[in-house]
A and B are shown apart, each in its own frame.
Chain A
Amino acid sequence: MDLARFKQVSEVEWQVAPSGRMRVPAVIFADQALVREMDDKVYEQLTNVASLPGIVQAAYAMPDAHWGYGFPIGGVAAFDADAGGVVSAGGVGFDISCGVRTLHTGRRTDEIAPLKQRLADRLFAHIPAGVGSTGPLRLNAAGMDAMLRGGARWAVEHGYGSAADLDRIEERGCMAGADPDKVSEQAKRRQRDEIGTLGSGNHYLELQEIMEIHDAKAADRFRLRVGEVVVSIHCGSRGLGHQIGTEFLRQMVAAAPSYGIELPDRELACAPITSPLGQAYLGAMRAAINCALANRQVITHLARQVFAELLPGTHLTLIYDVSHNTCKQELHTVDGQSRRLHVHRKGATRAFGPGHPALPDDLRDIGQPVLIGGSMGTASYILVGTETGMTRAFSSACHGAGRAMSRHQATRQWRGRSLVDALASQGILIRSPSLRGVAEEAPGAYKNVSAVVEAAERAGLARKVARLKPLVCIKG
């Protein structure tokens, strides 16, 4: 992207002043190299977002931003309902509440090493992954609605995990305001037997070794020690979320003119927050958030079963669970005033700093763990929310490396089999139903996650706590 199009505010902040239809500035948090590598579409999409009704302060792009649909992936935008603000199905995305959770095993790498192959095989066999797979539950209509209302709390009530898990999940494991009646029968039908499945694409379950500690105090509070092993799960709301995204996007495209909203790009389709369609979407989207939380909770349970079988006495304790495709109502201080805003995070992680009331008691003084997913061969990071972040982009940070290369290019460059062999020689075991899927997700197809995290820290969005390296990756 041409740097001349921006005003450089700092080493890691780039701004586009409002012009034309833009109502607020567009801001990218990234270093020069990352901005230069970004597709021109990010500029176009971010300035489009800045033109939506009721947007507050600025349209933000995280260091891992890339070309998405309507909103850039890695985009953050907040809207004020009282100022005609909108909610956008495209601004949340198809995979509603896709996110990451990380659990302690409490085991050192040397304890895991002899069992690595067996753990990989058993996890792959036990956790449904890939196209067409089904989960351990079949939900009837009442069960579906209860799950959509209850989220991870519903899962815990049904024996998947413990109440202690709920404290370490955003919204305490249950998103308020979910309205299963606003979720179509088609969406529910897509989900009937998908609870407890990883899905495909960039979704995974990994065993990771803690390689490096960057912030001793926060690491101590998160109980992270070099040489220990954690489990990370990356997946979302499955078919239900995809169908909700599809259906509301369609409705919002059709309804936008009736709300007097002119769309520079159909994918930006949105409706006023206070409109019936906006409220219906929020009800359905929150149900999808619960679906994602329940899904990760059930998968957690499946992972615990495998550990109990192969390494009895291991307790997988939840460090935190974050979602990165959401629209949430939050209080933020804007120009010294506290305002209730609907914050869209599309491929961006919430990163509450110390003292935020939404944090569990035992983490409130240190800040929220921010989990940054890697890509098979590359590192993952655990960050922590900061005070400064709360004033930057509505307490938001990056969510992962972000793609540098299309799937199309990736399949031309890599072969699944040789990739699996090459990673195995680095001590990383890959298990996947699809070799082509592995090639499309090749580590080389992603940006350098370390550079992304570095930029997020320098921009004050979040602070590095630990770096993790994959040992085993179950790939959907």
Chain B
Amino acid sequence: MKIYTVGGAVRDRLLGLPVADRDHVVVGATPEDMVSLGYQPVGKDFPVFLHPQTHEEYALARTERKSGRGYKGFTVYATPEVTLEEDLRRRDLTINAMAEDESGTLIDPYGGRADLAAKVFRHVSEAFAEDPVRILRVARFAARFDGFVVAPETNGLMRRMVADGEVDALVPERVWQEIARGLMEARPSRMFRVLRACGALERLLPEIDRLFGAPQPPAHHPEVDTGEHVMLVVDWAARHAMSLPVRFAALTHDLGKGVTPRDLWPRHHGHEAKGVELLRALCERLRVPADCRDLAIAVARDHGNAHRAPELRPGTVVELLERVDAFRRPERFEAFLEACECDFRGRPGYEDRPFPAPDYLRQALRAAQAVDAGAVALRVEPARIREAVFQARAQAVAALHSHAGGNWEHFPHQADMGVRGTGPTLAAAFEQAALAMTAVVTDPSRVAPKEAVDIRCEAAGDELLLVDWLNALIFEMAARRLLFGRFAVTLDGHRLHATAWGEPVDPARHEPAVEIKGATYTELKIAKNEAGQWLAQCVVDV
């Protein structure tokens, strides 16, 4: 008898990847030979043994023949006469059909090494068609191995298998298992692209397949296509090592956009509610585990609200927190926020924009949690407790808006005006100074947050950074004819990254008093007072 290392171990070694599991094929032996050598029999459908010391898998060389639909209908022949080449021939891809003998010599009868070098997934033989799970495996490999493409003949074979109805016979648990594993790979999008190219996606996940070709408004989605957006979202989730539930939620958050009537494109009003129905059916069909399902439903239903959170009324924010069960399941709330962030960032140009919604929702949750529900309950009749607790929480969230962010004011300068912002952090003081600047022109509360502008600047110090920040806003206001009413600033040393929300100047509604020419170094000051409040101020020229 002869023992060979086969499959993934050989492939990964040639790729220079760490080898996790080592599978072996034994040629010229009977099950009895193996048992007599101390190997432990484990295979139910075919003869596989565990090594007495290493516990690695040793399988007798075998051939398989298809005897029915689906992946279970096989007849197995495992006799001492089966050769290594025959065993390798039943495998899916050439890159997985290589072996190494005990001296390290490579046995590569089907050109696996060349395909590895060319980064091609190519089936070994027509026997590939006997197991439809292999389509999912190829797709999953695509998600794992960077730069590999499916050989045209293999794609053609997979298309024929799909046309023959092979994938329709796959059991749901197996489909979910492969999809879940693919989602945990480095580039999940490539799995869905391979499945789509052979037509399998339409059979297995028609809800995802339909997203390709459904346009979204370019103003918010530079990538336009919903399918492309979802691919960016799952890849962003993978790149940031998100959990399986978060990745699944990322994949399924926009299902509703696939059923928008074409005449309404590129708008998708109410896609969240429609998406939830589709998602429930999908989870039922594939027997998706409860943790993945529940998070995905919450994200599909409320991702839009989460993005808009800083603009929502306090009561609406509390409703959102209740709906996603944030009070009882804070860890799932975190996962919810992660999935929403994947959605936000899965757009070209949004990868590192400030996204204040998660921090705002966390703050809102903390404020609402601080409400003593027991004490509130004692003050009202039993029938009104729920309502009273809700109101108290809404008030706590409302207080966040008026205090935590700080304050702004104007101070006099003979010809022009001084703007001053204060806040618990330097970033908050910068936001408030910007509000004070808007207030030189109009009442900031009259400015609706309809458009977001990304702003970055860097300076040699905090004071210079304040001037640069205000001047960057002045430029955007002037060049785009916008007014800004809301700001989210993040500071990293003397680097500023911010989003400013606003709308075009409407003279009738905003009654703009003056246009601002520039922020100046006059009366420029950054300071922190005894109460720990930051102050940021300078004079603006009008």
Asked if A190 and B468 make an inter-chain contact with CB atoms under 8 angstroms apart, the answer reads: no
Asked if A130 and B414 make an inter-chain contact with CB atoms under 8 angstroms apart, the answer reads: no
Chain A residues within an 8 Å CB radius of B518: 94, 242-243, 245-246, 249
Chain B residues within an 8 Å CB radius of A328: none
The number of residues on chain B lying at the interface, defined by a beta carbon within 8 Å of a beta carbon of chain A, is: 38
Q: Does B298 contact A (CB under 8 A)?
A: no
CA distance A459 to B481 in the complex (A): 45
CA distance A39 to B475 in the complex (A): 31
Q: Which residue of A lies closest to B504 (CB)?
A: A132
Q: Which of A415-448 contact B (CB under 8 A)?
A: 433-437, 440
Q: Which residue of A lies closest to B540 (CB)?
A: A94
CA distance A354 to B542 in the complex (A): 36
Given contacts A201-B515, A245-B518, A267-B521, contact A407 B467 (CB under 8 A): no
Chain A residues within an 8 Å CB radius of B464: 250, 253
Asked if B417 and A406 make an inter-chain contact with CB atoms under 8 angstroms apart, the answer reads: yes
A-B contact pairs, 5 of them (CB 8 A): A242-B474, A243-B518, A249-B518, A408-B417, A433-B511
| Shortest Cβ distance from residue A43 to the other chain B in the assembled complex, whole angstroms | 13
Q: Which of A130-164 contact B (CB under 8 A)?
A: 130-132, 134
Asked if A407 and B478 make an inter-chain contact with CB atoms under 8 angstroms apart, the answer reads: no
Asked if A246 and B471 make an inter-chain contact with CB atoms under 8 angstroms apart, the answer reads: yes
Q: Does B1 contact A (CB under 8 A)?
A: no
Q: Does A29 contact B (CB under 8 A)?
A: no
Asked if B521 and A266 make an inter-chain contact with CB atoms under 8 angstroms apart, the answer reads: yes
CA distance A339 to B471 in the complex (A): 38
Give me the 4 closest cross-chain CB pairs, A-B, nearest first. A132-B505, A131-B512, A406-B412, A266-B521
Q: Does A32 contact B (CB under 8 A)?
A: no
Asked if A69 and B541 make an inter-chain contact with CB atoms under 8 angstroms apart, the answer reads: yes
Q: Does B410 contact A (CB under 8 A)?
A: yes
Chain B residues within an 8 Å CB radius of A389: none
Asked if B468 and A131 make an inter-chain contact with CB atoms under 8 angstroms apart, the answer reads: no
Partner of A69 from the list B511, B521, B542 (CB cut-off 8 Å) is B521
CA distance A41 to B460 in the complex (A): 27
Q: Which of B478-518 contact A (CB under 8 A)?
A: 478-479, 481, 504-505, 507, 510-515, 517-518
CA distance A399 to B331 in the complex (A): 67
Q: Which of A36-51 contact B (CB under 8 A)?
A: 39, 41
Chain B residues within an 8 Å CB radius of A243: 475, 478, 518
CA distance A243 to B541 in the complex (A): 12
CA distance A11 to B207 in the complex (A): 89
Chain A residues within an 8 Å CB radius of B411: 408
Asked if B542 and A130 make an inter-chain contact with CB atoms under 8 angstroms apart, the answer reads: no
Asked if B512 and A407 make an inter-chain contact with CB atoms under 8 angstroms apart, the answer reads: no
Partner of A66 from the list B414, B505, B512, B513 (CB cut-off 8 Å) is B414
CA distance A438 to B368 in the complex (A): 45
Asked if B520 and A69 make an inter-chain contact with CB atoms under 8 angstroms apart, the answer reads: yes
Q: Does A254 contact B (CB under 8 A)?
A: yes
- Chain B 201-217 per-residue mask, 1 if CB under 8 angstroms from chain A, else 0: 00000000000000000
Q: Does A200 contact B (CB under 8 A)?
A: yes
Asked if B415 and A66 make an inter-chain contact with CB atoms under 8 angstroms apart, the answer reads: yes
> A-side interface residues toward B, CB under 8 Å?
39, 41, 66-70, 73, 93-95, 130-132, 134, 186, 189-190, 199-201, 239, 242-243, 245-246, 249-250, 253-254, 265-267, 269, 403, 405-409, 433-437, 440
Asked if A267 and B511 make an inter-chain contact with CB atoms under 8 angstroms apart, the answer reads: no
CA distance A70 to B241 in the complex (A): 53
Q: Which residue of B lies closest to A439 (CB)?
A: B513
| Shortest Cβ distance from residue A359 to the other chain B in the assembled complex, whole angstroms | 31
| Shortest Cβ distance from residue A262 to the other chain B in the assembled complex, whole angstroms | 15
CA distance A200 to B477 in the complex (A): 14
List 4 additional contacts besides A132-B512, A406-B417, A434-B513; criterion CB under 8 Å.
Answer: A69-B521, A407-B514, A433-B511, A434-B512
**Count of CB-CB pairs between chains A and B under 8 Å:** 124
Asked if B512 and A267 make an inter-chain contact with CB atoms under 8 angstroms apart, the answer reads: no
Q: Which residue of B lies closest to A194 (CB)?
A: B478
Q: Which of B407-462 contact A (CB under 8 A)?
A: 410-417, 441, 460
Chain B residues within an 8 Å CB radius of A265: 521-522
Partner of A131 from the list B415, B475, B507 (CB cut-off 8 Å) is B507
Asked if A186 and B542 make an inter-chain contact with CB atoms under 8 angstroms apart, the answer reads: no
Asked if A409 and B412 make an inter-chain contact with CB atoms under 8 angstroms apart, the answer reads: yes
| Shortest Cβ distance from residue B512 to the other chain A in the assembled complex, whole angstroms | 3
Asked if A433 and B512 make an inter-chain contact with CB atoms under 8 angstroms apart, the answer reads: yes
Asked if A69 and B522 make an inter-chain contact with CB atoms under 8 angstroms apart, the answer reads: yes
Q: Which residue of A lies closest to B542 (CB)?
A: A201
Asked if A403 and B479 make an inter-chain contact with CB atoms under 8 angstroms apart, the answer reads: no
| Shortest Cβ distance from residue B92 to the other chain A in the assembled complex, whole angstroms | 56
Chain A residues within an 8 Å CB radius of B410: 408
CA distance A242 to B417 in the complex (A): 16
| Shortest Cβ distance from residue A68 to the other chain B in the assembled complex, whole angstroms | 7
Q: Does B300 contact A (CB under 8 A)?
A: no
| Shortest Cβ distance from residue B416 to the other chain A in the assembled complex, whole angstroms | 7
Given contacts A69-B520, A267-B520, A408-B417, contact A201 B412 (CB under 8 A): no
CA distance A370 to B514 in the complex (A): 27
Q: Does B157 contact A (CB under 8 A)?
A: no
Asked if B460 and A254 make an inter-chain contact with CB atoms under 8 angstroms apart, the answer reads: yes
Q: Does B524 contact A (CB under 8 A)?
A: yes
Asked if B512 and A130 make an inter-chain contact with CB atoms under 8 angstroms apart, the answer reads: yes
Q: Which residue of B lies closest to A187 (CB)?
A: B475
| Shortest Cβ distance from residue B537 to the other chain A in the assembled complex, whole angstroms | 14
| Shortest Cβ distance from residue A346 to the other chain B in the assembled complex, whole angstroms | 11
- Chain B 175-186 per-residue mask, 1 if CB under 8 angstroms from chain A, else 0: 000000000000
Chain A residues within an 8 Å CB radius of B513: 131, 200, 434, 436-437, 440
Q: Which of B377-412 contact A (CB under 8 A)?
A: 410-412
CA distance A403 to B468 in the complex (A): 27
Q: Does B78 contact A (CB under 8 A)?
A: no
Interface centre among B410, B416, B517 (most CB of A within 10 A): B517
Asked if A131 and B417 make an inter-chain contact with CB atoms under 8 angstroms apart, the answer reads: no
- Chain B 516-541 per-residue mask, 1 if CB under 8 angstroms from chain A, else 0: 01111110100000000000000101
